[in-house]
Structure 1
């Protein structure tokens, strides 16, 4: 059996289904904590909002951590690959413009988890937005500037 890179293994068997709920995760290149500066993290948030405005996905919850993001979405149009490629590409461009840097900002690939019908969407959203608490970045979720959930 051939040996595949980690990013290739992430793509094997991936299937995008419209109106399905997915939890998407992407890491910064070499897990660099570029979003410790929350103003830089806002560049990613802008792309989450743009995807929704363009009818690609409905954001249910998200958190931008120092070196990755979690994004709970309902896929409205297109594929996960198209959505993530666009989000990572446009956010990298905006990050580079705002920091005066050049180069890649994201690791190749991403992780996706399609929620099963029996999984609690609100519980998954709570898991997403509680990431800063579990990481010890804040004492209360409300103290962290880079999160959102439609239920809050």
Structure 2
């Protein structure tokens, strides 16, 4: 028997606070490995950057894996749901246009975790950008093209 997805549970009790840092993860629909295509990964990067440039967030670190992304940011002038809705909808349009597709690109929902004041954001950023190493995609972080951190 196939289990139902639990993405609807991710929305319960969600609260966002301006000035707080969040670590979010969003997954590509059906976990397709679309971001093995560097060009498609850069389209998502452009959306993350635009969200930062519009002062909706202060982007601290991100990595785009083949079928998902992790992003650490501090909320500025938008709520967490607004930021994620914007990034997911705009990237869906851009990427679908680039590959000649339509319909769902991201799985519904996303995972988020608010950081606590005592947590070391640089340590969280290191964890994020270390994902390609732990996944065996590269031997050195610098060999992976789809990541960035504010401290580098």
TM over 0.5: yes
Aligned residues, how many?
149
Q: Give the alignment's Cα RMSD to 1 decimal.
A: 1.1
1:129-144 alignment runs, 5 A limit: 129-144=129-144
Cα separation, 1, equivalents of 2:38 and 2:61:
17
Listed one character per residue, the Cα deviations across residues 41-90 of structure 1 (whole Å, up to 9, x for unaligned) are 11110111110111100110000000000000000012111100110000
**Structure 2 stretches of 5 or more lacking a match?**
none
1:1-152 alignment runs, 5 A limit: 6-152=6-152
Tell me the TM-score normalised to structure 2 length.
Answer: 0.95
Runs of 4+ in 1 over 2 A off after TM superposition: none
**Structure 1 stretches of 5 or more lacking a match?**
none
Cα separation, 2, equivalents of 1:65 and 1:5:
21
CA shift, 1:5, in A, is: 5.8
